[in-house]
A and B are shown apart, each in its own frame.
Chain A
Amino acid sequence: METTTMAKPENIGAAAQARQSTDTFPKLLQEHARVRGDRPAMREKDLGIWQTWTWREIAAEVQALACGFAALGLARGDRVAIIGDNRPRLYWTIAAAQCLGAIPLPMYQDSVAEEMVFVLQDAGVKLAVVEDQEQVDKLLEIHDRLPNLEHVVYDDPRGMRHYNQPFLHAAAEVLGSGRIYHDEHPEFFQGQVDGGKGEDLAIMLYTSGTTGNPKGVAHTYNSMIITARNSVQMEGLTDQMEGLTDQEEVLAYLPMAWVGDNLFSYAQSMVAGFCVSCPESSETVMTDMREIGPTYYFAPPRVYENLLTQVTIRMEDASPIKRWMFNYFMDHAKKVGVKIVDKQPVPFMDWLGYQLGNFLVYGPIKNVLGFSRIKLAYTAGEAIGPELFDFYRALNINIKQLYGSTEAYVMVCVQPNGQVKPDTVGTPVPGVEVKIDDNGEVIFKGPGVFHSYWNRPDATAETMTPDGWVLTGDAGFFDDDGHLKIIDRAKDVGKFIDGSMFAPKYIENKLKFFPYIKEVVAFGDKRENACAFINIDLSAVGSWAEKRGLAYTGYTDLAGQDAVYELIRECVEKVNADLAADPRLGNSQIKRFLILHKELDADDGELTRTRKVRRRFIADKYGVLIDALYADVNHCLIETQVKFEDGRVGMVRADLKIAEAKRYPRIAQSAA
């Protein structure tokens, strides 16, 4: 029953008494140090060996760090920027800033200096805590434009020996001065912690901003802690799982600036008391995953996709016996796996086969992927392909989609256990109400709703109604089972000349489910039909080409080959056949497409840092190509600027072919 997964708002408020002492993260941290002081709270791999900190140790580190920041002049209400990969000290910085009542502001570590200026200025950041020399260099580059920035603290001293700017401090130095400060002012720290209240601002997260400047989403402790607590309990309300406990293991590998990481690696850990591990480097995540064996995991669909692609590619190189075993048992899992996972009855022989497969294939695959102990895996951000989804579910991995936003502190909808459908994002989480407004836009209300946009009362008023409903900007509807289905961004949904609906994301996602296609941008608003730009997936198409003996030198060369165009055309036509059956989207079939000569890249401004397509920017930049798609030509010359990782700029020139795809008669229409 649905009511079993819905906690009533009164229930959430019932335990308020018990929580009086833990209404902020610093108080929660002290609580953990008391209750489970010797349990691991955080791990990091250093020199190839996992180092562990217990809750008690972390509480002590955070205290020293906070006092060190206080010695540098950080005070209640100040903003602290945090820039770097997932490092324990950077997470402690969040807690330390919160101890003092300052507002931590994690930023994307791969942004170039110019992109950081706006956020640092907008938030009036006073203290920046960064990972290493690379980030320090960026801040020095823009330092003269940041009058509010008083101090920069760096974690890793490597290469920093000769920097003598007086405002630069090593983290070790700050910790040292913090301990001295605490000795001199023994009452200070606890006073600051006790002075924090649930309604204080606890964090600021800048939205990546597909249009315009990013906005700082400010959350209070209440919205974060209640959301984290609800989501932790929610997963425990069904009979088959005990929920998230302090025994969970989580790998913190997604950008700290992203709200999801803040919830999964910080807030939930602080609420449930589980251990968070930081990978050795961003390249070692696969190995670290395997070594840690997380029990709870979040990844955007593309990570699951990459894992599956890797498994597939490696199986193609395996010996014939292994390959046969893999194919045989994977087929079996696809047939009965999902049923067995959902505890539906299956014939005994099928069950036996699945157990054998588990021993021979599924178990070993999960072990290689680091999924052996997984209890719960979330995915969100983009639509996930049904095949991909079923692959993991068939392996008995409880993967579920969730729907959320920075403004909701992630949680809006989650697929309930046992009711997982690939094409929906599930039902509203406890305490959250979701409605579709008159324009077809999804709106929600709940405890996790953000406080405001920093310095932007106008934008806050635009997004949040006076009675607390938040506009998501997504178009969607509830299906017959009460599950929410998201179609596209409301502002991106357009109309063809004949008046039928054009939902670009819907088409793009369908295409992106093919392993050969990495990125798609569809056009069609106020046009007669749909056309698309396509990015091929270099590793998948590359290995496809190798098997056929096709020589290629790189992305541009491969993307331009006729055989590759044929391959992609097949994919497009399959999607067209699929779309033809949909009564509302039949006209969205793709008429003409081209394969872009370069991969869309966040460094060129074509994608956001979270890899979402910036539609308007692309439409401007590649206007020539769009015109060519709708003109009567079969190729088009284009010259574009690309930015290399070192910041230099170069030109890429290419003559792109334009291909036609077969469109199918609209089945639904002819039937009607």
Chain B
Amino acid sequence: MNPNRKIGDVILKAENISMSFGGVKALTNISLEVREHEVLSIIGPNGAGKSSMLNVINGVYHPQEGKVTYKGRTRDKMEPHLAAKQGIARTFQNIALFKGMSVLDNIMTGRNLKMHTNFLQQAWYWGRTQREEIKNRKVVEEIIDFLEIQHVRKTPVGRLPYGLQKRVELGRALAAEPTLLLLDEPMAGMNVEEKQDMCRFILDVNDEFGTTIVLIEHDMGVVMDISDRVVVLDYGKKIGDGIPEEVRQNPAVIAAYLGTSH
């Protein structure tokens, strides 16, 4: 881990979040903090509530109890579009890209919030829209360069292997220039080499752009290697929180997750 990177103040704070779907309690009284510029991993067995927690953070789910404070503002109901406007971007566990569109166009959609021309201007194209397109295309090309996917720039996403699609999805999230990036199992289903690449990109994003990253991951090796802090959930309850070393030694965590084979 790079010693020069400064971890800042708390950027996002979730307090006493509880949430249930019918009779199923997905999250029970969970509090967690995300600090600026850190890489925070949320781990836990299947059904532990990890994805629900991410969905609460970016406003897809509205918890029955508790509140989320982001950049000093507390909202009763976070909405996904508001979250996006405030600089929260995410990727999904099941890839959610436009399969028929090229890599370039997919990442370009991530720039949507940065474009301000209206429908009529866009239909005419020349002038403001063109300037805007060029400006945004440059950002997208920089991301393509950063993620080393030049060779598939114009390939429809549906034709790419899974690992590359994941990378494109990360690219689209980056296109929004987020301050907080939520990654839902970015390495699921990847082989060792793809995982290594992905780790490198996540750390590079964190390092180059100072982006705060919250990620959910199953691969313990990866989690312990790249995280500054780890939060452990089990059956909707938080059972561990701390630096990787602490979590590794936490008996409750070992019992719930690390000790059992999966």
B150 contacts which chain A residues (CB < 8 A)? 45, 48, 280-281, 283-284
Q: Give chain B nearest CB distance to A106 CB in angstroms.
A: 23
Give the interface segment out of B23-31, B139-147, B171-179. B139-147
Given contacts A47-B141, A645-B193, contact A284 B208 (CB under 8 A): no
A648 contacts which chain B residues (CB < 8 A)? 192
Q: For chain A, residues 147 to 172, give those with C-beta under 8 angstroms from any C-beta of chain B.
A: 158-159, 161-162
B122 contacts A by Cβ under 8 Å = no
Q: Are the CB atoms of B141 and A644 closer together than 8 Å?
A: no
Q: Give chain A nearest CB distance to B102 CB in angstroms.
A: 12
B76 contacts A by Cβ under 8 Å = no
A646 contacts which chain B residues (CB < 8 A)? 192-193, 196
Which B-chain residue is minimally distant from A648 (CB atoms)? B192
A287 contacts which chain B residues (CB < 8 A)? 151
Q: Which of B144, B196, B207, B208 lies in contact with A48, CB distance below 8 A? A: B144
Q: Which of A48, A161, A645 lies in contact with B153, CB distance below 8 A? A: A48
Q: Are the CB atoms of B208 and A162 closer together than 8 Å?
A: no
B2 contacts A by Cβ under 8 Å = yes
B146 contacts which chain A residues (CB < 8 A)? 158
Kindly supply a per-residue 1/0 record for chain A positions 437-456, scoring 1 wherever the CB is within 8 Å of any chain B CB and 0 otherwise: 00000000000000000000
Q: Are the CB atoms of A47 and B192 closer together than 8 Å?
A: no
B261 contacts A by Cβ under 8 Å = no
Interface of B is mostly: helix
State A16–B207 Cα separation when bound (angstroms). Answer: 57
B142 contacts which chain A residues (CB < 8 A)? 47
Most buried by A among B2, B5, B150, B153: B150
B9 contacts A by Cβ under 8 Å = no
Q: Are the CB atoms of B193 and A281 closer together than 8 Å?
A: no
Q: Are the CB atoms of A159 and B192 closer together than 8 Å?
A: no
Q: How many residues of A contact B (CB 8 A)?
A: 17
State A53–B253 Cα separation when bound (angstroms). Answer: 59
State A648–B153 Cα separation when bound (angstroms). Answer: 31
B246 contacts A by Cβ under 8 Å = no
State A280–B138 Cα separation when bound (angstroms). Answer: 16
Q: Give chain B nearest CB distance to A82 CB in angstroms.
A: 22
State A158–B208 Cα separation when bound (angstroms). Answer: 8
Q: Give chain A nearest CB distance to B124 CB in angstroms.
A: 24
Q: Are the CB atoms of A47 and B207 closer together than 8 Å?
A: no
Kindly supply a per-residue 1/0 record for chain B positions 192-233, scoring 1 wherever the CB is within 8 Å of any chain A CB and 0 otherwise: 110010000000100110000000000000000000000000
Given contacts A158-B208, A159-B208, A644-B192, contact A284 B151 (CB under 8 A): yes
Q: Give chain A nearest CB distance to B247 CB in angstroms.
A: 25
State A278–B151 Cα separation when bound (angstroms). Answer: 14
Which A-chain residue is minimally distant from B151 (CB atoms)? A283
Q: Give chain A nearest CB distance to B151 CB in angstroms.
A: 3
State A312–B153 Cα separation when bound (angstroms). Answer: 24
Q: Are the CB atoms of A47 and B138 closer together than 8 Å?
A: yes
Q: For chain B, residues 75 to 112, give those with C-beta under 8 angstroms from any C-beta of chain A.
A: none
State A283–B145 Cα separation when bound (angstroms). Answer: 13
Q: Are the CB atoms of B153 and A281 closer together than 8 Å?
A: no
State A280–B192 Cα separation when bound (angstroms). Answer: 26
Given contacts A644-B192, A646-B192, contact A159 B207 (CB under 8 A): yes
B4 contacts A by Cβ under 8 Å = yes
A47 contacts which chain B residues (CB < 8 A)? 138, 141-142, 144-145
State A162–B196 Cα separation when bound (angstroms). Answer: 20
Kindly supply a per-residue 1/0 record for chain A positions 520-531, scoring 1 wherever the CB is within 8 Å of any chain B CB and 0 otherwise: 000000000000
Most buried by B among A45, A47, A280, A646: A47
Q: Are the CB atoms of A281 and B151 closer together than 8 Å?
A: yes
Which A-chain residue is minimally distant from B3 (CB atoms)? A162
State A648–B192 Cα separation when bound (angstroms). Answer: 10
Q: Are the CB atoms of B148 and A48 closer together than 8 Å?
A: no
A48 contacts which chain B residues (CB < 8 A)? 141, 144, 150, 153
Q: Are the CB atoms of A159 and B204 closer together than 8 Å?
A: yes
State A162–B5 Cα separation when bound (angstroms). Answer: 9
Kindly supply a per-residue 1/0 record for chain B positions 150-192, scoring 1 wherever the CB is within 8 Å of any chain A CB and 0 otherwise: 1101000000000000000000000000000000000000001
Q: For chain A, residues 30 to 56, give those with C-beta under 8 angstroms from any C-beta of chain B.
A: 45-48
A158 contacts which chain B residues (CB < 8 A)? 146, 204, 208
Q: Give chain A nearest CB distance to B62 CB in angstroms.
A: 40
With A158-B208, A646-B196 already in contact, 5 other A-B pairs whose C-beta atoms are closer than 8 Å:
A47-B141, A158-B204, A159-B204, A280-B151, A281-B151
A residues lining the B interface (CB < 8 Å)? 45-48, 158-159, 161-162, 280-281, 283-284, 287, 644-646, 648
B residues lining the A interface (CB < 8 Å)? 2, 4-5, 138, 141-142, 144-146, 148, 150-151, 153, 192-193, 196, 204, 207-208
Q: Can you list 28 pairs linking A and B with CB atoms under 8 Å apart? A: A47-B138, A47-B141, A47-B142, A47-B144, A47-B145, A48-B141, A48-B144, A48-B150, A48-B153, A158-B146, A158-B204, A158-B208, A159-B207, A159-B208, A161-B207, A162-B2, A162-B4, A162-B5, A162-B207, A280-B150, A281-B151, A283-B151, A284-B150, A284-B151, A644-B193, A646-B193, A646-B196, A648-B192
- Ranked nearest first, the 10 interchain pairs of A and B with the lowest CB-CB distance are A283-B151, A47-B141, A284-B151, A280-B150, A162-B4, A48-B141, A281-B150, A284-B150, A162-B2, A646-B196
